[in-house]
């Protein structure tokens, strides 16, 4: 039977082909590794235009599906890469312009708490000292905005917070007229008593263009019988002007 003499040549060709494949695979692997490094450099480079970033994504991403969930304020992104791998990302939804200038709820809660003991101007000073800023400071032209008494008053009315006046009334604090009538004295006398420390005054509001208006706390009526003759013995009582 005839014997083929080409077999040794075929075996050598196969070995060379396998060696070529190995060299080629190593070259591709090194190139792919370099591409991943280059990709990151290009993506992080601030000088890379957005259109170029889109082109980079087109090389590695097959498709992407966005599912917006408004109730949770998030968007889920299902990504399928060119090689078949899939991945799901979760991102917070971008805030609208009105949401960006909205006062944070933590500040509103703090204002509600401070209303128990402070008037608007005092609350504004406290917020500013703590480094807190109104929602409008998110606008570029108002980046240095600070809290003022009118801003605090707006928050109280906008978020339906109980006013300091109502809080004092709930604690049994009397108005100037009511306190004077309870004590049987004139309102001007009540003011003098406040200056002498015989009674305590509680301010509930203050404006730059007018004097402070206050509420007054008075002891029970039976403690102020003949108040005009006994007012010196009433030191330590409270009322406000």
> Would 241 be classed as within a structural domain?
no
Question: Is the separation of the CB atoms in 210 and 188 below 8 Å?
Answer: no
Residue 7, Cβ neighbours under 10 Å: how many? 9
> Would 239 be classed as within a structural domain?
no
Question: Is the separation of the CB atoms in 75 and 89 below 8 Å?
Answer: no
> Would 54 be classed as within a structural domain?
no
Nearest C-alpha neighbor of 239 from the set 187, 184, 202, 189: 202
Region 90-118: what's the mean pLDDT? 86
- Here the contacts of 168-172 (C-beta below 8 Å, separation 24 or greater) are 168/202, 168/204, 168/215, 169/215, 172/217
Domain boundary among 161, 184, 212: 161
105 and 142 fall within a common domain:
yes
Question: Is the separation of the CB atoms in 233 and 198 below 8 Å?
Answer: no
Q: Which is more confident, 215 or 159?
A: 159
Q: Which residue has the tokens 């010196």?
A: 232
89 and 103 fall within a common domain:
no
The pair of three-digit structure tokens given for residue 118, joined into one six-digit string? 């402070």
178 and 139 fall within a common domain:
no
Q: How far apart are CA 17 and CA 19, in angstroms?
A: 5
> Would 240 be classed as within a structural domain?
no
- Split into its structural domains, the chain has a count of 4
> Would 53 be classed as within a structural domain?
no
> Would 44 be classed as within a structural domain?
yes
153 and 171 fall within a common domain:
no
141 and 177 fall within a common domain:
no
Range of the domain at 139: 99-161
pLDDT tens across 198-231, in order? 888 888 876 443 334 455 554 443 333 333 444 4
> Would 56 be classed as within a structural domain?
no
> Would 111 be classed as within a structural domain?
yes
Question: What is this structure's pTM?
Answer: 0.54
186 and 207 fall within a common domain:
yes
Burial class (CB in 10 A: 0-12, 13-18, 19+), 169: middle
The pair of three-digit structure tokens given for residue 85, joined into one six-digit string? 């791998």
Relative to beta strand 61-69, strand 210-216 is unpaired
Domain boundary among 161, 178, 200: 161
Region 187-205: what's the mean pLDDT? 84
């Amino acid at each position: 039977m005839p014997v083929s003499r080409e077999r040794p040549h075929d075996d050598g060709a196969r070995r060379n082909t396998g060696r070529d494949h190995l060299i080629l695979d190593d070259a591709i692997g090194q190139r792919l590794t370099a591409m991943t490094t280059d990709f990151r450099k290009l993506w992080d480079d601030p000088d890379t235009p957005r259109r170029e970033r889109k082109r980079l994504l087109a090389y590695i991403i097959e498709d992407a599906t966005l599912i917006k969930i408004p109730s949770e304020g998030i968007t889920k992104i299902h990504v399928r890469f060119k090689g078949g791998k899939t991945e799901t990302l979760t991102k917070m939804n971008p805030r609208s312009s009105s949401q960006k200038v909205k006062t944070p709820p933590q500040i509103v809660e703090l204002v509600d708490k401070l209303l128990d003991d402070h008037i608007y101007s005092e609350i504004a000073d406290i917020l500013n000292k703590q480094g807190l800023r109104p929602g409008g400071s998110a606008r570029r032209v108002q980046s240095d905005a600070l809290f003022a008494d009118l801003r605090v008053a707006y928050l109280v009315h906008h978020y339906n917070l109980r006013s300091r006046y109502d809080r004092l009334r709930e604690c049994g604090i009397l108005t100037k007229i009511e306190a004077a009538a309870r004590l049987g004295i004139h309102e001007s006398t009540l003011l003098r008593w406040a200056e002498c420390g015989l009674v305590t005054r509680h301010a509930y509001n203050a404006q730059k263009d007018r004097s402070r208006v206050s509420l007054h706390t008075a002891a029970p009526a039976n403690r102020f019988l003949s108040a005009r003759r006994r007012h010196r013995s009433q030191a330590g009582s409270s009322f406000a002007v």
